[in-house]
């Protein structure tokens, strides 16, 4: 672990100092999050996020995909400071920030999150206008400024301005989700973490919001962490993509490389399951069971490679040794024994090669 940190620090001063903003805005170093839970009456530890290291560059989008329950939302909450990390470090604009306690308001305001459950994030007693305007008021904006900004963002996300007076229960699911997006954007943060932010929207509104996000990114150098189960949308919007499985990042790379040439067996499985628009290709009447190995639990994750219980290529070593992160191609990192060539390619060497 200390090794990783030194390598990161060594890399910082403008090494890749070209004109493009390639500098990471946010950097996660070995972030883990564990929860205490009960397993049939006994105390147990649930490893929701395990030693995740990722960089999100200024003005870019990092997509995160992975199975339901693999730790995406937990990681998102750790990033914006809603969960204390169990261990690991975080750099924001090259400065170390708090991962286990309260953060200064200035940092908090620069990172906004759109939550997966849109209704839980809205105060049922506040109107749409009040919800969006509240953080602006905290910042000390005038009433006139707030009204104008609220109106602007609400029309940006495709809602009629007349909705400012509505309460959350008077909105449809997609309308609520758009209020959340509007609220996150109203503060003009530097980083926006979008957790399933467009999945409750119809395809036309989704297109509108995706285009809005792209425009804001271009105009204000906004940086996004974009979590979604819609793999086509992630491919479209992301510059880099990280694939998570049971709390760990198993593959990361540019969206193009990863989708064109997925290396990790889990990524391959995931990408081959994207449904098409052709009803004739449906396998809906195949019985469940055959070929559907059980999904393991993060309460007692498999030893070695966590994917080994479902992997078609599993080898002896996979149950014994955690696969190291290997740079299988430039800037394309995969954690799988199929790609590790001998013992000399350890973590440190890979980190050095990646920088």
Partner 1 sequence: MSTTTGVRERVESMSRGDSSSETMASLEVRDLITEFRGRRGHVRAVNGVSFTVPRGGVLAVIGESGSGKSAMLRSIIGINPPSTLIEGNILLQGKDLLKMSQRDRRRARGRDISMVFQDPLTALDPVYTVERQLVETIKKHHEGISNADARSRAIGLLELVQIPSPGARLKAYPSELSGGMRQRVVIAMAIAGRPQVILADEPTTALDVTVQARIVRLFRQIQREVDAGLVVVTHDLGVAAELADEVAVMYAGRFVEHGSATQVLTTPSHPYTEGLIEANVRAGQDRRPRAIPGAPPSLKRLPAGCAFAPRCAYAIADCWSAPAPIRDTATHHWSRCLLASNAATSS
Ligand X SMILES: Nc1ncnc2c1ncn2[C@@H]1O[C@H](COP(=O)(O)OP(=O)(O)OP(=O)(O)O)[C@@H](O)[C@H]1O
C-beta of 7 vs 208, nearer to partner 1 = 208
84 binds ligand X (CB under 6 A): no
Among 55, 72, 264, 306, binds ligand X (CB under 6 A): 72
213, containing H or E segment: helix 203-220
The span from the CA of 176 to the CA of 114, in Å, is 11
**Considering only CA atoms, which of 203, 199, 162 is closest in space to residue 181?**
199
293 binds, among partner 1, Mg ion, ligand SF4, none (CB under 5 to 8 A by kind): none
Judge residue 67's burial from the number of C-beta atoms within 10 Å of its C-beta, 0-12 exposed, 13-18 middle, 19 or more buried: middle
Query: Could you say which residues in the range 329-348 bind ligand SF4, by CB under 6 A?
Result: 336-338
| Structure-token pair, residue 164 | 């400012």
C-beta of 18 vs 273, nearer to partner 1 = 273
Judge residue 167's burial from the number of C-beta atoms within 10 Å of its C-beta, 0-12 exposed, 13-18 middle, 19 or more buried: middle
Min CB(13)–ligand X separation in Å: 34
Bridge partners of 1, per DSSP, are none
| Structure-token pair, residue 160 | 């009629």
The site map against partner 1 for 50-69 (x = CB under 8 A) is ---------------xxxxx
61 binds, among partner 1, ligand X, Mg ion, none (CB under 5 to 8 A by kind): none
For 43, 105, 165, 233, the CA distances from 178, given in Å and listed in that order, are 40, 25, 15, 17
233 binds partner 1 (CB under 8 A): yes
Query: Could you say which residues in the range 145-184 bind ligand X, by CB under 6 A?
Result: 169-175
- Lateral strand order in the sheet of 87-92: 42-57, 24-39, 87-92, 95-97
Q: How far is CA 293 from the centre of its chain?
A: 26
C-beta of 77 vs 263, nearer to Mg ion = 77
160 binds partner 1 (CB under 8 A): yes
Query: Could you say which residues in the range 288-327 bind ligand SF4, by CB under 6 A?
Result: 305, 307-308, 311, 313-315, 318, 323
Min CB(39)–ligand X separation in Å: 11
C-beta of 26 vs 187, nearer to ligand X = 26
The site map against partner 1 for 168-207 (x = CB under 8 A) is -xxxxxxx--x-----------------x--xxxxxxxxx
The span from the CA of 298 to the CA of 245, in Å, is 10
Min CB(139)–partner 1 separation in Å: 28
265 binds ligand SF4 (CB under 6 A): yes
116 binds ligand X (CB under 6 A): yes
73 binds ligand X (CB under 6 A): yes
- Indicate the angle between helix axes 2-11 and 347-354, nearest 10 degrees: 10
Q: What angle (nearest 5°) sits at the alpha carbon of residue 27, between those of residues 23 and 29?
A: 140
Binding residues for ligand SF4 (CB under 6 A): 264-265, 305, 307-308, 311, 313-315, 318, 323, 336-338
């Amino acid at each position: 672990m200390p090794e990783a940190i030194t390598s990161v620090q060594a890399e910082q001063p403008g090494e890749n100092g070209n004109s493009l903003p390639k500098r990471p805005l946010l950097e996660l170093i070995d972030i883990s999050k564990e929860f205490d839970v009960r397993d049939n009456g006994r105390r147990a530890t649930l490893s929701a996020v395990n030693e995740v290291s990722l960089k999100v560059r200024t003005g870019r989008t990092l997509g995160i995909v992975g199975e339901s329950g693999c730790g995406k939302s937990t990681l998102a909450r750790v990033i914006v400071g809603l969960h204390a990390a169990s261990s690991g470090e975080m750099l924001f604009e090259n400065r170390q920030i708090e991962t286990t306690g309260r953060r200064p308001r200035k940092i908090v305001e620069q990172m906004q999150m759109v939550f997966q459950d849109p209704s839980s994030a809205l105060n049922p007693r506040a109107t749409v206008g009040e919800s969006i305007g509240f953080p602006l008021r905290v910042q000390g904006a005038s009433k006139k400024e707030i009204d104008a900004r609220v109106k602007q963002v609400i029309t940006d996300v495709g809602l009629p301005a007349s909705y400012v007076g509505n309460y959350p229960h008077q909105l449809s699911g997609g309308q609520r989700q758009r209020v959340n997006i509007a609220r996150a954007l109203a503060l003009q943060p530097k980083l926006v973490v979008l957790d399933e932010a467009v999945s409750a929207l119809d395809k036309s509104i989704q297109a509108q919001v995706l285009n809005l996000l792209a425009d804001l990114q271009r105009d204000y150098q906004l940086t996004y962490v974009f979590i979604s189960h819609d793999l086509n949308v992630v491919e479209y919007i992301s510059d880099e993509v990280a694939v998570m499985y049971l709390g760990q990042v198993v593959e990361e790379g540019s969206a193009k490389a990863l989708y064109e040439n997925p290396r990790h067996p889990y990524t391959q499985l995931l990408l081959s399951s994207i449904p098409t628009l052709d009803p004739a290709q449906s396998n809906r009447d195949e019985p469940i069971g055959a070929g559907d190995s059980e999904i393991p639990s993060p309460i007692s994750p498999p030893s070695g490679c966590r994917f080994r219980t479902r992997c078609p290529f599993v080898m002896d070593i996979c149950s014994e040794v955690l696969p190291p992160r290997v740079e299988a191609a430039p800037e394309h990192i995969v954690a799988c024994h199929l790609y590790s060539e001998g013992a000399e390619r350890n973590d440190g060497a890979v980190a050095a090669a990646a920088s």
